[in-house]
Amino acid sequence: MDWLTYFKDGVPSPEMTKQLRAIREVLTSGGRSIVQGALAWIWARSNVTIAA
């Protein structure tokens, strides 16, 4: 399982934490909430995507 390499003794690796912070920064740019940013990303992926 690849995701196990992101944790050691139940603690996320520094690299993973850094990546998550960068993603959060992009998603919340322009004053958006994290949810608004995530929905914008989903909708930008396809013109037939419906977020439920």
Give 38-49 as a DSSP string: HHHHHHHH-TT-
Point out which residues pair with 11 in neighbouring strands.
8
pTM: 0.67
CB 43 within 8 A of CB 51: yes
Residue 48's pLDDT is 81
Number of domains in the chain: 1
Q: Residue 46 falls within a domain, yes or no?
A: yes
Please report, in tens digits, the pLDDT of each residue of the chain (52 residues total). 666 778 888 888 898 899 999 999 999 999 999 999 998 888 888 878 776 6
Whole-number Å distance between alpha carbons of 41 and 35: 10
Q: Residue 44 falls within a domain, yes or no?
A: yes
Q: Residue 2 falls within a domain, yes or no?
A: no
Structural domain including 34 reads 28-52
Q: Residue 20 falls within a domain, yes or no?
A: no
